[in-house]
Amino acid sequence: MAPGYIFWRPKTYQGRFYVPAYLRRPGYCCVDLLVSDDGYDWHVQSTPIPPALVDNETLWANETEILFLGYMIKSLRLGGRCGVVVPEGLLVGTTTAHKAIRRILFEKCKLAAVVSVPAGCFKPYSGVKTSILIVKKGEPTKEVWFYEVQNDGYSLDDKRRPTPDKNNIPDLLENWTKDQNGTWEPTDKSWKATIDEIKENDFNLSASRYKPLKIEEVEYEDLTKLIKEVLELEEEISKNLKELERMI
């Protein structure tokens, strides 16, 4: 089992809670998931079939990132906000649990932004493709703002050398500020999708899925002029061939 947050259903022995030995190791952390009127009610469970309760819904999942995102939503008060880095698989996964957590994001929260981050941003620790979610709890999502970061100011290999001439972060912050004050306009790196568009795509949250197609206008030469040039070229070729034939 990889280190991380482990959701485990508590057991009792002689009236007292205990944690199994396989969870008492460095890198693991048990978290309180449920809050009752009388205080905290611990409900953490290990894989392979761990339930995480989000409000009054039960979310069954094996993936730690799904459970942890569910916990974060649960722990937010109404109007609370969070920013979280998630693996790309959480945004595009087709399992029941993946779709359920994304549906909760839309129905229980306002998913304000999805910032696509290139694979390599977290090297040398991880090369996984990730995205950043900005969430506000308490109101349903109507539209989602997307931004595609292609470069973060460092090389995307294990050495992560500074590349100040390749850095989209200042542009990201500038466009996010514009979106918040109502002056934003679509760019080649930022765009929006409505909740209806996202529903039509089975709640897929990959930024590239909704990136507008860029149509470039191409100017072609006048067709009559082009035909004339082709005929002149053919005439010249024919003349040269006849000259060659006389020389043979």
Give the tokens for residue 63. Answer: 């993936």
Residue 248 has pLDDT above 80, yes or no: no
Summarize the confidence of residues 145-152 as an average pLDDT.
94
Query: What is the model's pLDDT at position 114?
Result: 95
Q: Is the pTM of this model over 0.75?
A: no
Integer CA distances (angstroms), 204 to 135, 151, 193, 195, in order: 16, 23, 11, 11
Residue 223 has pLDDT above 70, yes or no: yes
What are the beta bridge partners of residue 51?
60
Integer CA distances (angstroms), 33 to 56, 63, 85, 163, in order: 12, 16, 20, 42
| Structure confidence by residue, pLDDT tens digits, 14-63 | 444 334 444 444 443 344 334 333 322 232 333 333 444 444 455 666 77
| Structure confidence by residue, pLDDT tens digits, 171-213 | 999 999 999 999 999 999 999 999 999 999 989 999 999 998 8
Query: What is the model's pLDDT at position 59?
Result: 63
Residue 1 has pLDDT above 50, yes or no: no
136 contact partners, CB below 8 Å, separation of at least 6: 79, 80, 81, 109, 110, 112
Of 101-110, 140-149, 210-219, which has the strongest mean pLDDT? 140-149
Residue written as tokens 């974060």?
72
Residue 9 has pLDDT above 70, yes or no: no
Query: What is the model's pLDDT at position 229?
Result: 86
